[in-house]
Structure 1
Amino acid sequence: MTELEFEILPISLLADYLKIVDNSIQTHFDNLTDSELSAGTFSFYTSVSAVFSSKIEGENIELDSFIKHKKWDVKFFLIIPKR
């Protein structure tokens, strides 16, 4: 990997930059809003992902049991199918 040396750009370039930069960048930035995905919702989706990933790997874990275990430390058991 090559090491890069950083340089501070001369202030004389700022005027030229300001002439060509799109002024709507600040407007777009100001219009940004928070995502509707809350921490709780994200936690739910990561739980779903973990459970279904486990199912792909052959572990039979129920989503309900996993979430109860994660939120309330309820012990969960694997459901072993009858043969």
Structure 2
Amino acid sequence: MEENEMQPAVSFGAWLALQTNRHDPVGDLARDFLGDDGCGRCSDITEEAPFMGVEDVAATLTEHRASQPAFDAFNMACAEWTGR
């Protein structure tokens, strides 16, 4: 994000948590990201989401070896969140 751009008022994780009812790739990402996948490798994302930034979400997706379509949806979500 460039210096002269304003950060959205809500964190990326909190915004993503509000997208779970959508029927598009961003909604799929939100449901997958916040869902209980039973992987046992992460703490409760639902509780952490409001405090997570873009980098945190990207790191979690990488850690969980997310698919390319998940990263494509992540990029769409980032663009929408920042208004670009």
- TM > 0.5 between the two? no
- The structure with the largest helix share of the pair is 2
Whose RCO is larger (CA < 8 A, sep 6+)?
2
TM-score normalised by length of structure 1: 0.27
Structure of larger gyration radius: 1
